[in-house]
A and B are shown apart, each in its own frame.
Chain A
Amino acid sequence: MQLVHSELPSHRTDATSSIMTYATSSNMTNKIDHPQLCQWLKSIAVDRDKQAFTEVFSFFAPKIKRIAQSKINSEALAAEVVQDTMSNVWRKAHLFDDSKGAATTWVYTIMRNVTFDLLRKMKANKEDNLSDDIWPLAESLNTEEEVFSDHIQSRNLQGIIDTLPENQQQVVKGFYFMEMSQEQLAVHLDLPLGTIKSRLRLALGKLKLKLGDHHD
């Protein structure tokens, strides 16, 4: 629940520093700790390691945002690119192969594809390009429908989150919502994740059973 961006601790770059500058480095590209980045990606792929994802996020997010903003000139869209890119990184970390190239190259390639996707979709919605809404819902007349849009989960990101297994959804959501993941709860209670999962399932099952009669 603690993963609000502002609190991400380490490896933060100065907002004014150039794109490839690493926090601890006054040099350009050559001081990026590539083995460390690879290690984090591996931890994400193998262990679904959220701490590693946090590190990767705080390393790449400001950079991606700056690049995206310079390309598409919209802060909201740039934020979108960051979100889409990073959720792809989370989802596809197992596809990263460090023998084929640097982690930075891999992430920036994802970013490029995300950006192209976005621009393509924008073109399809040309009349709405100037709108603050990134993915206008063609503002349906139905107010109930309309209420469904929100600032945090763009429809696009939502689509990606939908495809994640539940525990991975929790991680992505964890960046915005102050709610524990099942893993965090397991750690807190010092219990295996499986125990937590089955307790949740059983407890909710009993609750529903109880409410079943008078709830739809």
Chain B
Amino acid sequence: MPINNLPIFPLPIFLLPQGVTRLRIFEARYLKMVSLAMKNRGFVVFSHDKDEKVNPMAVGSWVEIINFDQGEDGILLIDVRCKCLVDIKAITQDSDKLHHGDVTSKNHWPEVSLDKATDKLAKSLRKLFNENNELSSLYPKQYLEQGDWVVARWLELLPVKLAEKTLFVNENSFSQAKQLLQRIILSDEQK
């Protein structure tokens, strides 16, 4: 079931379902996007980095605005949370140079409870949230008992290229994502 005409914001960020990030908005067309998004159905962050010369998968994060503020420099700050991933089917551009896309929603990882590895990852993630006010302020509610949530948040935070992260938008990529984190964070080697 396609959803038509959602505003599109191309950004080099990676956001999985339930992921939250803060954005600074100052370009006119994206201010317009925010006002459309507030009235209607959110917007789509199109994960894209023009640095990385990889054909971008036309996958985006459909987000809703959950908070906004004005920075000290007067620039609008919005907090957005990903509702679901979407495949972007068609893109048009309006007279304000804002892009709009027709999208279909895309299933992501199923809910899983913690196992031995994700339990360790959850502890490490909790420590990170505790040490970091800004991060924890974005996530007043943390689902540290859910394996998929823990792996998704870690993956978003990990300093690896967007092209590499986008491998994990696929529905069946959970165990690979977990394995990657085990290797990097826990230095667990899976034989």
Contacts and interface: CB of A to CB of B under 8 A. Distances in A.
A6 B69 contact: yes
A133 B97 contact: yes
A207 B135 contact: no
B48 interface: yes
Contact of A152 (B24, B46, B72, B138): B24
B51 A158 contact: yes
Given A150-B9, A177-B12, A178-B22, A132 B160 contact: no
Interface in A1-31: 1-2, 4-8, 12, 15
A19 to B, nearest CB: 15
Interface residues of A, number: 55
Interface of B is mostly: mixed
B118 to A, nearest CB: 16
A109 to B, nearest CB: 22
Contacts of B65: none
A143 B91 CA distance: 7
Interface string A95-124: 000000000000000000000000000000
Contacts of A62: 72-73
Contact of B97 (A7, A76, A79, A139): A139
Interface string A134-151: 000001000100111111
Interface of B: 8-14, 21-22, 24-30, 46, 48, 50-51, 55, 69, 71-75, 77, 91-93, 97, 99, 124, 127-128, 131-135, 138, 156-160, 164, 167, 176, 179-180, 183-185, 187
Contacts of B13: 177-179
B135 A5 contact: no
Contact of B27 (A132, A161, A170, A181): A132
B159 A207 contact: no
A5 B71 contact: yes
A194 B9 CA distance: 35
Contacts of B22: 4, 178
Interface stretch (A32-40, A42-50, A86-94, A198-206): A198-206
A185 B128 CA distance: 9
B41 to A, nearest CB: 20
Interface string A181-202: 1101100110000001001101
A199 B51 contact: no
Contacts of A204: 160, 164, 180
A215 B163 CA distance: 12
A71 interface: no
Contact of A182 (B51, B134, B159): B159
Contact of A76 (B27, B185, B187): B27
Contact of B73 (A5, A184, A200): A5
B10 A147 contact: yes
A195 B111 CA distance: 32
B107 to A, nearest CB: 19
B185 A4 contact: no
A216 B57 CA distance: 12
Contacts of B75: 5, 79
A75 B159 contact: no
